[in-house]
């Protein structure tokens, strides 16, 4: 089956004073793929996905999702169209239980108490937090809070799930669980992952986009990216 473009940016830019955080980026994602964005600190990765999900206004350029121009839409309107994201900084409600966090996210889509209970249990089970339902989120270890965030994202049934450094702070065992989860999620959603852990990137991504200085430095399959001398110089440090 021919690839279908889900998301495309055209000349997308964001300047902060004199800093060109993102500088004329043309970026496209196919439906169903797992894509990783890598690049050094300050490369513009978070700013780029911030503009894709509507948290950051572009200085210039357009964002298209499912062939519609969504540049002017609010973050919430984009969530409703199927773009879900988890932040680099954790965004769960610390005073609520895991169950209530996920229920809040799922209740727009799932109606009726029984159905909602079932759906929340399913989502918590999916991210490996089934036995934590009654625990207040704020006391969970950091890694579990990150998994809870993914459950919040999945509760929206997204077409595109954007994760900004999801494995930061996770143990090796949690990272293995995360990779299995993302492969499973990819059966029903496109996944865009900003990730510094190269083992995770190489294991999960079908394609990798390398950013440096606000621009796309390279793009390709994992083995191409690993072999690219420019990428090695700018990022892989060898």
Ligand X SMILES: Nc1ncnc2c1ncn2[C@@H]1O[C@H](COP(=O)(O)OP(=O)(O)OP(=O)(O)O)[C@@H](O)[C@H]1O
CB 38 within 8 A of CB 196: yes
Q: Measuring CA to CA, which residue among 168, 164, 175 is closest to residue 200?
A: 175
Burial of 1 (0-12, 13-18, 19+ CB in 10 A): exposed
Question: Should residue 145 be labelled a site residue for Mg ion when binding is judged by CB under 5 A?
Answer: no
Question: Should residue 41 be labelled a site residue for ligand X when binding is judged by CB under 6 A?
Answer: yes
CB of 45: closest distance to Mg ion in angstroms?
5
Q: 3-state class of 180 per DSSP?
A: helix
Span near ligand X by CB under 6 A; candidates 16-24, 117-125, 137-145, 185-193 = 16-24
Handedness of CA 194, 198, 201, 204 (dihedral sign): negative
Question: Should residue 44 be labelled a site residue for ligand X when binding is judged by CB under 6 A?
Answer: yes
Q: Which does 145 bind (CB under 5 to 8 A by kind): Mg ion, ligand X, none?
A: none
Span near Mg ion by CB under 5 A; candidates 40-48, 102-110, 132-140, 228-236 = 40-48
Question: Should residue 101 be labelled a site residue for Mg ion when binding is judged by CB under 5 A?
Answer: no
Question: Should residue 167 be labelled a site residue for ligand X when binding is judged by CB under 6 A?
Answer: no
CB 160 within 8 A of CB 82: yes
Question: Should residue 46 be labelled a site residue for Mg ion when binding is judged by CB under 5 A?
Answer: yes
Q: Which residues bind ligand X (CB under 6 A)?
A: 16, 19, 21, 39, 41-47
């Amino acid at each position: 089956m021919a690839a279908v473009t889900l998301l495309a940016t055209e000349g997308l830019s964001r300047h902060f004073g004199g800093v060109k955080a993102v500088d004329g980026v043309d970026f496209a994602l196919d439906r169903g793929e797992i894509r990783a964005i890598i690049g050094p600190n300050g490369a513009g990765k978070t700013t780029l996905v911030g503009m894709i999900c509507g948290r950051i206004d572009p200085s210039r350029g357009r964002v298209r999702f499912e062939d519609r121009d969504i540049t002017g839409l609010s973050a919430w309107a984009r969530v409703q169209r199927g773009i879900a994201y988890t932040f680099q900084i954790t965004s769960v409600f610390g005073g609520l239980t895991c169950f209530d966090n996920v229920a809040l996210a799922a209740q727009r889509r799932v109606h009726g108490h029984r159905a909602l209970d079932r759906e929340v249990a399913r989502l918590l089970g999916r991210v490996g937090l089934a036995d934590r339902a009654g625990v207040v989120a704020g006391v969970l270890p950091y890694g579990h809070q990150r998994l809870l965030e993914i459950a919040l994202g999945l509760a929206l049934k997204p077409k595109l799930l954007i994760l900004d450094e999801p494995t930061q702070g996770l143990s090796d065992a949690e990272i293995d669980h995360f990779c299995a989860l993302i492969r499973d999620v990819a059966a029903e959603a496109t996944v865009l992952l900003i990730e510094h852990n190269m083992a995770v990137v190489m294991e999960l991504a079908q394609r990798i986009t390398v950013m440096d200085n606000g621009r796309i430095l390279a793009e390709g399959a994992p083995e191409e990216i690993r072999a690219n001398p420019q990428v090695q110089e700018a990022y892989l440090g060898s």
